[in-house]
């Protein structure tokens, strides 16, 4: 086994997903076969190979620090599931 | 010929002389949608009122002599592009009611030129899929055969073009999501070089691989659309500051003397015999036009799918962390505390494939596994890029199939994600290498399903790509065949 049910519980917690028992069962099997498949990368010797995080060579993209107009508070709050005045409202954070 | 059947350049010619108005063309498209949408389900949202207003405005602009090639042209967009004031969902429940407060850069560019926005197209949820079956809004059917998938993730875009429900469309391509559906629906699709087109306002899946491109009726339309959307955008620091050529100017330059590589790793045993036959015929066509063929090797091809499913899922798990039920999107309102709200909102808001990819990506990035999976995949990505760099030292273009088989059946691969992932084997390497690729119609299976030919160009080699695609199109009749729907 590449991944255990216990590890799936842990990863779901990290990913902030409240998976159902049935989902965890399915994902354990599927992730196991996917991880077994990607193991084929270990056939390759990558000693000394630099990792690629970006396909096109780039340097820092600088621009002038000029103020531009933003979308504004009302627009920013347009899709808020819950709001109060000009704030996003969330459930109690500190118990 | 009905107005809904016309390409951009054909409709433009009629709008220019005043033979037809944009209002008439738009009405024709909306009527066509009414007639066939039940069978196809290409759209998530149709915007008839917006479309008729856009069309009236375009007609005024045309009357005032301020016309552009895209003025008055009916366009539909994958639902991954933010459209100010028009619901944008990325086919997810979690964005089911999301109304963007601004336009994606590519949308703003098209609007400036006076397009008519017809609606927003179906796709796999967050562009994660190869069949448009993972959409929260239901499956899209292939206009050539309703029992088959249209491909994905831009399945709505390709189906919409094949069913003649918009004059032109845009899609996005992270591992083949423009080229594969274009091939399955008999359309032209182009994935530009990474950085050629701005990603600002495009809902992110895997940021180092995502790229925007057109899905169109023919190669000329593809060249027009690429010219309209390409270019540097200060709002996307990964977009590249290179001049944008008029891609239509060089289309007719031919392929005489062009060196085309055939990678032996793409002509493998599992290749469908009818796909193989279409490739052989295409090679013969190109030889007849004066192109030279060279056998090449892309030795790390077999590792591309594994590399992709680590890099793309890792980036996705990070990108999709923003859907937390706080600022926008779905929230479970019964949750007791903040953590509970995150976890329940995300579990209920995301579909099965998205959660699977978030789980794989989170695992690949997690402490203790990062080096073994994510870093290893980034190193193999380097080897795959080097394969292409070496190949383009010898050839101008690479020719391959787009997919190993024509479109599979709806439901055929939904229970086995790995089999679904492997269907993208010929398109994924292009995204990892960051270069450009294109799908053009190259035949039909005995069942009447379209077969696509992939041309791969060197980085920022879109002119050569389009020129070779145009030469093929002018010497074949595949793109003239219409889906009977």
Task: Measure the CA–CA gap between B217 and B239, rounded to whole angstroms.
Answer: 27
Is B153 tagged catalytic?
yes
Domain boundaries of chain B, sorted by first residue: 3-251
pLDDT at B287 exceeding the cut of 90: yes
- pLDDT tens string B313-334: 999 999 999 999 999 999 999 9
Q: How far is CA B430 from CA B28, B105, B174, B209, B435, in A?
A: 37, 24, 9, 9, 6
Q: How confident is the model at residue B212 (pLDDT cuts 50, 70, 90)?
A: very high
| pLDDT number for residue B421 | 87
The runs of H, that is alpha helices, within B248-375 are: 273-288, 304-319, 338-349, 352-365
% residues pLDDT > 70 (chain B): 100
| pLDDT number for residue B431 | 98
| pLDDT number for residue B417 | 85
Q: How confident is the model at residue B222 (pLDDT cuts 50, 70, 90)?
A: very high
The reply to whether residue B333 touches residue A82, judged by beta carbons under 8 angstroms, is: yes
Mutation target vs B (from A24, A34, A92, A95; most B CBs, 10 A cutoff): A34
Which residues does chain B have within 8 Å of residue A2's beta carbon, measured at their own beta carbons? none
- pLDDT tens string A39-60: 999 999 999 999 999 888 777 8
Which residues does chain B have within 8 Å of residue A90's beta carbon, measured at their own beta carbons? 326, 338, 341
| pLDDT number for residue B56 | 98
Is B84 tagged catalytic?
no
Mutation target vs B (from A28, A30, A46, A52; most B CBs, 10 A cutoff): A52
- pLDDT tens string B349-387: 999 999 999 999 999 999 999 999 999 999 999 999 999
Q: How far is CA B127 from CA A30, B18, B244, B446, in A?
A: 20, 39, 27, 30
Structural domains present in chain A: 5-41 (1.10.20.60)
Which residues does chain B have within 8 Å of residue A51's beta carbon, measured at their own beta carbons? 375, 378-379, 381-382
3-state secondary structure of B293: strand
Catalytic residue among B21, B130, B154, B177: B177
| pLDDT number for residue A92 | 87
Is B154 tagged catalytic?
no
B3-251 CATH: 3.90.1300.10
Strand B436-444, strand A87-88: pairing: unpaired
Nearest to B358 among A17, A49, A58 (CB): A17
| pLDDT number for residue A57 | 79
Q: What is the mean pLDDT of chain B?
A: 97
- End-to-end Cα, chain A, rounded Å: 39
From the CA of A56, how many Å to the nearest CA of chain B?
Answer: 7
Residues 6+ apart with CB under 8 A from B313: B206, B357, B358, B360, B361, B364
pLDDT at A1 exceeding the cut of 90: no
The reply to whether residue A81 touches residue B331, judged by beta carbons under 8 angstroms, is: yes
Q: How confident is the model at residue B61 (pLDDT cuts 50, 70, 90)?
A: very high
| pLDDT number for residue A59 | 78
ipTM exceeding cut-off 0.90 for this assembly: yes
| pLDDT number for residue A93 | 85
| pLDDT number for residue B464 | 98
Task: Measure the CA–CA gap between B328 and B340, rounded to whole angstroms.
Answer: 17
- End-to-end Cα, chain B, rounded Å: 16
Residues 6+ apart with CB under 8 A from B73: B8, B11, B12, B22, B25, B115, B116, B167, B168
The reply to whether residue A27 touches residue B324, judged by beta carbons under 8 angstroms, is: no
Task: Measure the CA–CA gap between B332 and B348, rounded to whole angstroms.
Answer: 8
- pLDDT tens string B102-124: 999 999 999 999 999 999 999 99
The reply to whether residue B309 touches residue A23, judged by beta carbons under 8 angstroms, is: no
% residues pLDDT > 90 (chain B): 97
Task: Measure the CA–CA gap between B72 and B375, rounded to whole angstroms.
Answer: 48
Which region among B66-75, B111-120, B418-427 has the lowest average model confidence (pLDDT)? B418-427
């Amino acid at each position: 086994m590449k991944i255990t049910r216990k590890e799936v519980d842990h990863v779901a917690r990290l990913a902030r997903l409240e998976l159902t028992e049935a989902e965890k069962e399915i994902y354990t099997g599927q992730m196991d076969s996917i991880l077994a498949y990607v193991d084929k990368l270990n056939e390759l010797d990558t000693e000394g190979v630099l990792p690629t995080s970006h396909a096109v060579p780039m340097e820092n993209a600088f621009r002038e620090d000029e103020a531009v107009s933003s979308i504004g508070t009302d627009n920013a709050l347009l899709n808020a599931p819950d709001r109060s005045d000009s704030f996003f409202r969330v459930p109690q954070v500190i118990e | 010929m009905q107005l809904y059947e016309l390409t951009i350049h054909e409709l433009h010619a009629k709008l220019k002389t005043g033979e037809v108005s944009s209002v008439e063309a738009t009405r024709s498209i909306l009527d066509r949608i009414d007639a066939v949408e039940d069978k196809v389900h290409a759209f998530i949202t149709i915007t008839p009122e917006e479309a008729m207003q856009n069309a009236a405005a375009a007609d005024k602009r045309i009357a005032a002599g301020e016309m552009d090639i895209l003025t008055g042209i009916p366009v539909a967009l994958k639902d991954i592009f933010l459209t100010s004031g028009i619901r944008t969902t990325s086919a997810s429940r979690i964005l089911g009611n999301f109304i963007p407060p601004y336009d994606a850069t590519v949308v703003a560019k098209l609007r400036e030129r006076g397009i008519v926005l017809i609606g927003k197209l179906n796709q796999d949820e967050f562009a994660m899929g190869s069949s448009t079956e993972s959409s929260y809004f239901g499956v899209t059917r292939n206009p050539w055969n309703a029992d088959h998938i249209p491909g994905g993730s831009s399945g709505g875009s390709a189906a919409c073009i094949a069913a003649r429900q918009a004059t032109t469309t845009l899609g996005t391509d992270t591992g083949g999501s423009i080229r594969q559906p274009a091939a399955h629906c008999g359309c032209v699709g182009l994935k530009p070089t990474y950085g050629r087109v701005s990603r600002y306002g495009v809902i992110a899946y895997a940021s180092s691989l995502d790229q925007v491109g057109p899905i169109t009726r023919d190669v000329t339309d593809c060249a027009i659309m690429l010219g309209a959307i390409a270019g540097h955008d200060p709002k996307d620091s990964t977009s590249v500051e290179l001049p944008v050529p008029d891609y239509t100017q060089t289309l007719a330059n031919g392929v005489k003397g062009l060196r085309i590589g055939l990678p032996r790793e793409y002509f493998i045993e599992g290749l469908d015999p009818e796909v193989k036959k279409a490739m052989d015929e295409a090679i013969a066509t190109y030889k007849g036009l004066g192109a030279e063929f060279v056998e090449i090797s892309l030795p790390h091809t077999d590792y591309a799918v594994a590399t992709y499913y680590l890099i793309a899922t890792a980036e996705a798990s990070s990108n999709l962390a923003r859907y937390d039920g706080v600022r926008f999107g779905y929230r479970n309102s019964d949750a007791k505390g903040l953590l509970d709200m995150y976890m329940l909102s995300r579990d209920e808001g995301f579909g099965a494939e998205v959660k699977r990819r978030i789980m794989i990506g989170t695992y690949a990035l997690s402490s203790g596994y990062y080096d073994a999976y994510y870093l290893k995949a980034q190193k193999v990505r380097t080897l795959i890029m080097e394969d292409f760099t070496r190949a383009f030292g010898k050839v101008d273009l690479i020719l391959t199939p787009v997919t190993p088989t024509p479109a599979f059946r709806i439901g055929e691969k939904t229970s086995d994600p790995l089999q679904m992932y492997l269907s993208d084997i010929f398109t994924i390497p292009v995204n990892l290498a960051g270069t450009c690729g294109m799908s053009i119609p190259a035949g039909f299976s005995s069942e009447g399903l379209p077969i696509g030919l992939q041309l791969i160009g060197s980085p920022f080699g879109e002119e050569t790509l389009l020129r070779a695609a145009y030469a093929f199109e002018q010497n074949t009749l595949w793109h003239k065949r219409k889906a009977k729907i």
